[in-house]
Amino acid sequence: MTSSPSQAAQELERLIAIMARLRDPETGCPWDREQNFASIAPYTIEEAYEVADAVARADMPGLKSELGDLLLQVAYHSRMAEEQGEFAFGDVARAINEKMISRHPHVFGEAAARSAGEQTALWEAQKAQERAARAQTGALDDVPLALPALTRAEKIQKRAARVGFDWPDPEGARDKIMEEIEEVRAEIAPPGDQSPPSAALVDEMGDLLFSVVNWSRMLGVDPEAALREATRKFEARFRRVEAIAAAQGANMKGQHLDVLEDWWRQAKRETQS
């Protein structure tokens, strides 16, 4: 099922008109009229995650729907900007069109890229030129604060690595993890201490997580994807443990650890995926 460019353009125009109607100060939706960039931004992030979730589940009907929701977010922000006289939806589309053309000189220009790796190098060089043109000279400039913590940590580390600030091999990153574990252990309160975690413990735990992301990056593993998959496996196995307990007429809460461990092993055998 496909649509022509003209049909796509018509639907985009319809979406822009719908958004303008919703934001109309006289006849629009009260909720939509009250929103601003800050209040809508969390929905934009949420919709992006729902797109990724549909992709992970290979849910094509769901992906179509979620992409529509994400496109609505673009229309929403663009409409609010247009109301302030900043830019409109067409300016957003024009900006990304120009950016994609400039970043693909091997397609739209005379440059040649013989491999995906070479294209990545060209892409990064182009982005560096764009940052310089915007007077951004620091290696860590323009890394979004709103990125998920794992993703942002990895991106920060990659930026630093581009200018040579990196371990020469993964062993150095691994050793740093061992060092950070000891520093975390040194800040753990004595047994029985019910006080909240100290600022020092929170700080050291952050350093440990950052180091794990660094080692993952150096091994070529996407830490966000790896943790997402680990969480998926845990969720599937935990749900299976719940089912095992229910089948035995038992309640998980209060069960001896050995029983829970037996159920967990059974769940792992039954959910090998």
pLDDT of residue 138: 82
pLDDT at residue 126 greater than cutoff 80:
no
Q: Would you say residue 129 has pLDDT above 80? A: no
State the chain's mean pLDDT as an integer: 91
Percent of the chain with pLDDT over 70: 96
Percentage of the residues of the chain whose pLDDT score is greater than 90: 70
CB atoms within 10 A of CB 137: 9
- Mean pLDDT over 172-190 rounds to 96
HSE-CB for 216 with a 13 A CA cutoff: 18
Q: What is the pLDDT of residue 114?
A: 64
Q: What is the pLDDT of residue 109?
A: 81
Confidence at residue 134, expressed as pLDDT on a 0 to 100 scale:
67
pLDDT of residue 3: 75
Split at pLDDT 50, 70, 90, the class of 160 is: very high
pLDDT at 273: 57
The model scores a pTM over 0.75: no
Q: Which long-range contacts (CB under 8 A, 24 or more apart) does 261-266 make?
A: 264/237, 266/240, 266/241
Give me the sign of the Cα torsion angle 32, 35, 37, 39.
negative
Q: What would the mean pLDDT of 69-89 be, rounded to a whole number?
A: 97
Phi and psi at 64, nearest 5°, equal -60, -45
pLDDT tens-place string over residues 134-157:
666 688 888 888 888 999 999 999
In this prediction, residue 206 has a pLDDT band, given cuts at 50, 70 and 90, of very high
Q: In 3-state terms, what secondary structure has residue 269?
A: helix
233-256 per-position pLDDT tens digit: 999 999 999 999 999 999 999 899
Which band of pLDDT confidence, cut at 50, 70 and 90, is reported for residue 1? low
Cα distance between the two ends of the chain: 32
pLDDT value at position 123? 72
Per-residue confidence (pLDDT) for residue 213, from 0 to 100 = 97
Mean pLDDT of all residues in 153-182: 95
Residues 121 and 105: their CA atoms lie apart, in Å, by 12
pLDDT value at residue 136: 61
- The pair phi, psi for residue 146, each rounded to 5°, is -80, 0
